[in-house]
Chain A
Amino acid sequence: MARRQCGCFVELTMEMGEPFAAAPGQFVHVRCEVPGLILRRPYSLYDVRKGSASLLIREVGAGSAWLCAVEEGCELDMLGPLGRGFSMSAGGRHALIAGGTGIAAIRFLATRLMELDGDTVVFWGVEGEKECGGLHGALDGEFDLRLATMDGSAGYAGNVIELFRASGTEGFTGIYACGPRGMLAGLAECIGSEGLARLQVCMEERMACGVGACRGCAVPVSSPPGGYLTACKDGPVFTGRELDWRRING
């Protein structure tokens, strides 16, 4: 395991002992060796190459703090890849929208869509430029990246959905997003019911088992009415029409 710090983000790159194939949107369930902390933490795959996989961590609590500080060379206990990833098709023009660490799944997806000859534009919302520590510059070299900062320190001043709307939401064959529920709900409202047909979102939820057994990471869905699917097994990627946005907003 090797570590690289970029502003508030830490990229952990792990050498994989065995063949590891994963789709963008899939995640690994990581055990954090902190006394008194019992659940694994789900992290989207940020990059997967031959023989290695990487995650993008941001310190938000005890588990992520441990991961951000774990010694280089250590082995991590991970289950995965888990869940259903993004569905991809060749060609097309794609809008990818990320909030905060949602950029992890979105970056992996952008890489794969470009390999499939897709034209991609990535919109990334963060609090401020300082938070990124130059990560946005590095990613801008990989694809067309448009930054939105809440404090106006770089790129568009405001939230990422406003930036996406200002850039024109039409003309994209696919819309993909990963970020906090509020951002996803704002996006769903912005693109309307026609846009939902082209939307796939990767949900960030608290999880226990990670394999669909405990039903803890319930996501409200439109069919059956009032029902739920699990983020860990049925998701974390859902189509815009699968989700019950009214209950997600609530």
Chain B
Amino acid sequence: MAEDKRVDLGIELSGIRLRNPVLVCSGTYGNGREYAEWLELEALGGLMTKSVTLAPCPGNAPPRLWETPSGMLNSIGLENAGLERFLADELTWLSHLDLPVWVNVAGFSPEEYVEVAGEISRTGLAAALELNISCPNVKRGGIHFSHDAHEAAALVELVKAEIEIPLYVKLTPRCTDIAHTAAMVAAAGADGISMINTFPAMAVDIETASPRLGNVTGGLSGPAIHPIAVRMVWEVARAVDLPIIGMGGIWTWKDAVEMMMVGSDAVAVGTLNFADPAAPLGIVDGIAAFLERKGMDSVTELVDMVRGEDE
């Protein structure tokens, strides 16, 4: 196991101890239970749950998936059983594991975000929250938190007032200046940044001239967006002094190392989990071997290595 190796893979994010810096992204690992029979969940660095909304959410009309070159489009539409069921069935189960859990919170109004975040914080069962202000697949509500940095910051302030656990804000690549959005949510009190969400995209069946997705457009994930994520983490890491969980098409341990070298403190594996649910553990081993080869003592030495000494 990776823990037995000489290098130290442990990290600390906002006071939360992680045994390694590799988490799994929201929406790609369910609430953990779906994978419990396949692997040892406690070997992960952390788990980011599927989005939780106040009321049960049926999700979008199918088809919800379409594979593209080195990527995948999805328009799930936040399907989940709602806060009450999440607390009773999922969070309680997860809390018995020795595994830091970021609960991903979504909503259709600021009040909903605040209520869900507050309830989860008060259970004391979650390590942190991840605020999903950037789902590309939900049209209801008419509030564009993710487009407007001011709206995002206002929401962060409201949520922060109701919670006692760290708040990570998940940023979308759909913006003109992601570093500006990051700076705004940081100023509003965010404890960390997770980035990036999927990239809005579309595919068409040319035989029938119809969209591949029931929702017409969806979010692109997978290796196709990885270089975009690397560039954006690079920009945000230079703009804010908050922990960053970097995600976006991580496919190998090299991608994870790359993401940390541009400034993320931890990484999260997403779409790759569909191809291989055990891949995050292989990435942990790959990072450990790389650190040993480079003669590094701690994984934290990777963070921001690219920045260099001239800055």
Contacts and interface: CB of A to CB of B under 8 A. Distances in A.
A38 B76 contact: no
A214 B30 contact: yes
Interface in B264-289: 271-277
Contact of B74 (A77, A208, A226): A208
B62 A228 contact: yes
A70 interface: no
A77 B274 CA distance: 13
Contacts, number: 93
A184 interface: no
A226 B55 CA distance: 14
B222 A218 contact: no
Contact of B274 (A36, A209, A218, A224): A209
B58 interface: yes
B62 A213 contact: no
Contact of B34 (A40, A218, A228, A233): A233
B92 interface: no
A93 B129 CA distance: 55
B59 A218 contact: yes
**Main SS at interface, chain B:** loop
B67 A228 contact: no
B29 interface: yes
B62 A219 contact: yes
Given A209-B34, A209-B274, A36 B70 contact: yes
A216 B30 contact: no
A235 to B, nearest CB: 13
B64 interface: yes
Interface residues of A, number: 30
A14 interface: no
Contacts of A247: 61
A159 to B, nearest CB: 20
A51 interface: no
Interface string A193-230: 00000000000011111111111111110001011100
Interface in A36-52: 36-40
B138 interface: no
A213 B35 CA distance: 8
B69 A212 contact: no
B271 A216 contact: no
Contact of A214 (B38, B70, B71, B274): B274
Nearest to A220: B62
A31 interface: yes
B89 to A, nearest CB: 13
Contacts of B223: 38
Nearest to A29: B274
Nearest to B64: A216
A224 to B, nearest CB: 8
B295 to A, nearest CB: 33
Contacts of B115: none
A79 B27 CA distance: 19
Interface string A76-115: 0101000000000000000000000000000000000000
A211 B34 contact: yes
B66 interface: yes
Interface in B15-71: 27-30, 34-35, 38, 50, 58-67, 69-71
B59 A228 contact: yes
Interface string B248-277: 000000000000000000000001111111
A206 B70 CA distance: 16
A226 B223 CA distance: 34
24 contacts: A31-B275, A38-B67, A38-B72, A38-B275, A39-B275, A206-B67, A207-B65, A208-B74, A211-B34, A211-B35, A212-B34, A213-B50, A214-B74, A214-B274, A215-B64, A216-B74, A217-B65, A218-B62, A218-B76, A219-B62, A228-B59, A228-B62, A233-B34, A247-B61
Interface of A: 31, 36-40, 77, 79, 205-220, 224, 226-228, 233, 247
Given A31-B276, A216-B64, 13 more contacts: A31-B275, A39-B275, A205-B62, A210-B274, A213-B29, A213-B34, A214-B27, A215-B64, A216-B74, A218-B76, A227-B58, A228-B79, A233-B34
The 5 closest A-B pairs by CB, nearest first: A213-B30, A213-B34, A216-B65, A208-B274, A215-B79
